[in-house]
Structure 1
Amino acid sequence: MAVGGGLGLGGVLLVLAIGYFTGIDVSPILTGSGSGQSQQTRPLTDREEQAGEFSSQVLATTEQVWSDIFPNAFGKPYDPPTLVLFSQVTQSPCGGASGATGPFYCPVDEKAYLDTAFFAFMQQELGAGGDFAQAYVIAHEVAHHVQDEIGILAEVNAMRQRASEREANALTVRLELQADCLSGVWASYVDDLLEPGDIDEALNAAQRIGDDYLQRKAGRVPNPHTFTHGTSEQRQRWFSNGYEAGSPAACDTFGADRL
């Protein structure tokens, strides 16, 4: 994915400046854990600098795309989220998190949280390498913010609180597949930035983070009642639906008879 040349990040101050101008909060990295306790600022590693640079570029494309789409699709302007990069562990209003929990979106503070080591985990442990696979992950979390902005996230969260565990899981699957579809919509709008193989990278990542694939990888027999994100096939198909249609109207997973 050609998202621009290197920014030449050389240290803490420059990364902080990029965070200020691009909506990325890097303070949890600079203070170590983001726990809110008093800690010493430490230098950034090369991997953290690269993650910050790349994430800022991808986040900028999501802001541009959704700012263009929102007025026509939803009748109001787009208010972009903040992306929080952290290392190992962090705290959010939605609770604590570590790299093991994976990326997540917190509607309380309207921030998406991403461990800087997750990209390496995707490539080394899941076999989902490539810069567009990483961009897809960021776009998916931004898609949850889109859902929050239009009220779907709050509505589904309220429904889940009244539902059984099995029913709540099924609702969560529809929510996650919709986010995959909205990620595909974003991808269609940055098509001029894509390089050969980029969409295949995203589809491969979607396949490697499907519930059935992950349960098999863990040595378990896939149990659909426990799925919370959808199968590999579903995740790939809904991403493709959004990419091919280029419109949020193609992403009504809650009205779909077949996921």
Structure 2
Amino acid sequence: MKWQGRRQSSNVDDRRSVSGGKLVAGGGIIGIIILLVNVFGGDNAQLITPVLEQLQGKQSTQTEAVALSKEDEELGNYVRVVVADNEDIWSKIFSDNGMTYKQPEIVLFRESVQTACGGASSASGPFYCPGDQKVYMDLAFFEELQTRFGAKGGDFAIAYVISHEIGHHIQTLLGTSDRMRQMQEGKSQAEANKLSVALELQADFYAGVWAHHNKENLEAGDIDEALSAANAVGDDAIQKKMQGQVVPDSFTHGTSEQRIYWFKKGYTTGDIRQGTTFDEIN
């Protein structure tokens, strides 16, 4: 994506040099499992804290100041440009539809972070917390996305993830997340999971809508990077890798095919009214 020399958002709170430190105790395979379960966590990120507490026991956090490398600083600047593009595009889309867009904040951290949804570690993966309307990301996740999940990597994979998480913010602003939780009440776990899948796929769709309206800044290979990332984090792909079998009733984010389909639909149409995942999910 063409980004150098372009506007950077002021809504990025970069805590990488001062936050986190190391979580003492636990970790290891537990952290990997939680990472895989909570990739692109959405509203499910609120479940992270009790799981961590149960599996890892009491932890203490050692906070250390960490100097940012030139590469770290450049990556932070790239994130600010992606966030700025989201701000500009979603502000216009909301305005065109008679609404006002409230900009979220993106928090960059290392290893651990405190949020309105509770404490989380890097193992949580990137997630959106509706309690404070912020997106939380440890950028080390993108190395995991490439080395563990087999994604191509590339800077546009980062843009896709950021835009997916901002998609959850859109759902909060539009009331979709609240309606989804109400729909889940009284449902079986399998039926509740289907609604969660619909929410996640719609966030993928919104990421595609953003990419559609940002075409002038895209470069060859960008969309392939996004599709590769979407493919790598499908529930079926993760389950095959971790347990050797696929259990559809346990899906919470959608298959690789579904995630690719909805991102591509958003990218092709650019029309937020086409994100009918709750109508079309089986």
**Is the pair's TM-score, using the shorter chain for normalization, greater than 0.5?**
yes
Q: Percent identity?
A: 44
Is 2:4 the counterpart of 1:4? yes
- Gapped runs of 5+ residues in structure 2? 24-60
Residues 22-171 of structure 1 mapped to structure 2, 5 A cutoff: 22-27=10-15, 29-33=17-21, 39=63, 41-73=65-97, 75-128=98-151, 129-171=153-195
How far 1:26 sits from its partner (Å)?
A: 1.6
SS in 1 for 2:278: coil
For the 8 Å contact 2:22–2:63, the answer to whether it is kept is no
Q: How far, CA to CA, are the matches of 1:61 and 1:167 in structure 2?
A: 36
Q: Deviations over 1:168-203 (max 9, x none)?
A: 211110000000001100000110111111111111
Q: Residue by residue, what CA displacement relative to the aligned partner does 1:87-114 show, whole Å, maximum 9, x if unpaired?
A: 0111111122112111110011000000
Displaced runs of 4 or more, over 4 A: 37-40
In structure 1, give the amino acid aligned to 2:227: L
One-letter amino acid of the structure 1 residue matched with residue 148 of structure 2: E
TM-score (norm 1): 0.87
Question: SS of the counterpart of 1:57?
Answer: helix
Unpaired runs of 5+ in structure 1? 8-19
- Matching residue within 260, 265, 268 for 1:236: 260
Residue number in structure 1 paired with 2:50 = none
Question: Which fold has the larger relative contact order, with Cα–Cα distance below 8 Å and residues 6 or more apart in sequence?
Answer: 2
Equivalent of 2:201 in 160, 172, 177: 177
Q: Are the structure 2 counterparts of residues 241 and 21 from structure 1 closer, same or farther at C-alpha, using a change threshold of 3 Å?
A: closer
> How far apart, CA to CA, are the structure 2 residues paired with 1:177 and 1:47?
32
Number of aligned residue pairs: give it: 245
Q: Cα deviation per residue 1:44-85 (whole Å; 9 max; x = unaligned)?
A: 244532331121110000000000101223x21111100011
Q: Report the TM-score when normalising by structure 2.
A: 0.80
RMSD: 2.4
Q: Is contact 1:182–1:251 with CA below 8 Å preserved after alignment?
A: yes
Where 1:84 maps in the other structure, the secondary structure is strand
The residue correspondences of 1:194-213 to structure 2 (distance < 5 A) are 194-213=218-237
Amino acid aligned to 2:83: L
Q: Secondary structure at the match of 1:97?
A: strand
Q: Distance in 2 between matches of 1:114 and 1:44?
A: 16
Decide whether the 8 Å contact of 2:232 with 2:256 is kept in 1. Answer: yes
What's the counterpart of residue 16 of structure 1? none
- How far is the alpha carbon of 1:27 from its aligned partner? 3.0
* More off after superposition, 185-194 vs 123-132: 123-132
